[in-house]
Amino acid sequence: MITKNSYQYIVKRFFDILLSLFILIITSPLLLIISYLIFLDSPGEIIFKQTRLGKGQSKFTIYKFRSMYSRKNEDIDQYNEPVLTSSKDKRITKIGGFIRSTSIDELPQVFNILKGDMSFVGPRPVLIEQLDAIPKKFFNRFEVLPGLSGLAQVNGRRGLDWIKQLQLDSNYSNNFNFLMDLVIVLKTIPIVLTSNKIYGSSKKNWRFYRDIEK
């Protein structure tokens, strides 16, 4: 019988490496085209890099295609940053609206998966600042690798209340297995293809819950 640990560290990691290599090979032309379009669209780095919290609350650098006009991370006040509620937000570039709606902006995270920072399935990696808005009863979400998609993403995505997202993350951490991961992967595909709920609401955002009782 496969235990949770052996599944997480051996079986799941094997599939993460195999699938990430396959995706990088078949999407390499797309990666080059998108990189060039971002370069033409607006000045700044092609790849957006940001510090996130992974398994065990360890810090790592997440990679995304830049979809917004370039700003230095140190110039962004995450606690007061307005929530993105539409592709018409003035911070989003022309190509940025497209790559966000198709989730192409997330493709560089396949490199994070290959490195072992992330997995294809797991709770989404959070900002350092978001730790203030996570009650300790949900800290078990940090017992697994963060993922490209997870239970929260296939059950409402950014349309969910922040606490509901955390509940689903916690549920995944407690109960993950091969079948659950497979179902999440299969459910993710139509969600990505339909651009479903990629933008959220300020009243459901993590910033709204910073002062909740821990």
d(CA 55, CA 58): 6
> Contact 126/134 with Cβ under 8 angstroms?
yes
pLDDT at 208: 76
206, 134, 207, 147: which is closest to 173 by C-alpha? 147
At what angle are helices 12-41 and 94-101 packed, to 10 degrees? 160
- Using the predicted structure, report yes or no on whether residue 214 has a pLDDT greater than 60: no
Q: Which residues of 159-168 are buried (b: 16+ CB within 10 A; e: fewer)?
A: ebbbbebbbb
Question: 29: which 2 tokens?
Answer: 């032309």
pLDDT in tens, 104-136: 999 999 999 999 999 999 999 999 999 989 999
d(CA 20, CA 12): 12
Domain spans of the chain, in order of start:
4-209
Mean model confidence pLDDT for the chain: 90
> Contact 150/126 with Cβ under 8 angstroms?
no
pLDDT at 207: 79
38, 41, 64, 40: which is closest to 51 by C-alpha? 64
pLDDT in tens, 158-187: 788 899 999 999 999 999 999 999 999 999
